[in-house]
Amino acid sequence: MRPTPHTRRNPTNMRKAHDTCGVAPEGGSRWTGVCRGVAMRGVRTKLSGISGSVALAVALLSGCQALNGGAGEEPEERTTTTAPTRTAGYGTVFLGIDECSSFGTTGFTEVPCAGESAAARVVARHDGRVAQGPPCPATTDFVLHISESRPSGGGDEDGDGSVPQGYACMRNLEPPHPGDPGGGGGPRTIVGDCVYSAGRGEVRETACDGTGERAPEYQVTAAVETKPQCPDSTDLYVRLGGGKPVGCAVPV
């Protein structure tokens, strides 16, 4: 997770502020600041009829550039790859909606949701990169990035000989849920989330209840279409994306 710059409200009462992590652009539009800082874990996968390289990355906390400046740029995506094994009995799409994964010591494995090792469920699944695709649901706990793979044995979910690049929006089967409002994590910043100053005019998300490594300093209390719609108590702006892209944050 990389911190990002922000500006404070000025004497003319034209409040300016930082961005924290937000959602991917919708409808192909480009943000002035996009999420960056993706944490990776290696993955051991079980796929139906697939042998190749699949890479998964867990999108944890991230920061975005200032709402009122900077050109858009691609989010950083570093991944590690493994060779998945062929296993029957799962859906036709690797980590399709409502399928589950386990949390291993070295990575993630697709498993039956009723199994003891199931830890998280897919709540949304999309092809392509996060920056160009639909946003994950607001309370997504983390995102698995799936790299393109070409099976050596032939055959895959659609018969074209490859597994397309994509991403799966994941929700833990049991608490904690970092994607919940105030949870201190997840790929999106939503109303109820908190941030703290990381120094040099930069901020990061943290748990509102104080259980994170850093205490919260500001909380997003509202989402609006434009900055002037934020209440007078707003001290920082937070980019949220979507139909109401401006988050109004106040000191806690």
Same structural domain, 50 and 140: yes
Same structural domain, 103 and 189: no
Same structural domain, 92 and 151: yes
Asked whether the predicted pLDDT for residue 70 surpasses 50, the reply is no
pLDDT (mean) for 156-175: 78
Per mean pLDDT, which of 26-40, 101-115, 146-160, 199-213 is the most reliable? Answer: 199-213
Domain endpoint, select from 172, 205, 238: 172
Answer for the pair 207, 156: CB distance below 8 angstroms, yes or no: no
Residues in Cβ contact with 151 at an 8 Å cutoff, skipping those fewer than 6 apart: 49, 50, 51, 52, 161, 162, 163
Residues in Cβ contact with 109 at an 8 Å cutoff, skipping those fewer than 6 apart: 43, 44, 45, 46, 101, 102, 117
Same structural domain, 160 and 47: yes
Per mean pLDDT, which of 58-62, 69-73, 92-96, 148-152 is the most reliable? Answer: 92-96
Mean pLDDT over all residues of the chain?
A: 69
Same structural domain, 149 and 221: no
What are the pLDDT digits (tens) for 178-221?
999 999 999 999 999 999 988 776 778 999 999 999 999 999 99
Same structural domain, 162 and 143: yes
How many separate domains does the chain show?
A: 2
Domain endpoint, select from 120, 140, 172: 172
Same structural domain, 108 and 127: yes
- Residues 78 and 107: their CA atoms lie apart, in Å, by 15
Amino acid at residue number 46 = K
Same structural domain, 166 and 52: yes
Same structural domain, 199 and 120: no
Question: If you search the block for the tokens 């890479």, which residue do you land on?
Answer: 55
Same structural domain, 138 and 185: no
Residue of 83 and 19 predicted with greater confidence? 19
Q: Which residue range(s) make up the domain with 220?
A: 4-24+180-251
Asked whether the predicted pLDDT for residue 237 surpasses 80, the reply is yes
Same structural domain, 18 and 56: no
Same structural domain, 121 and 224: no
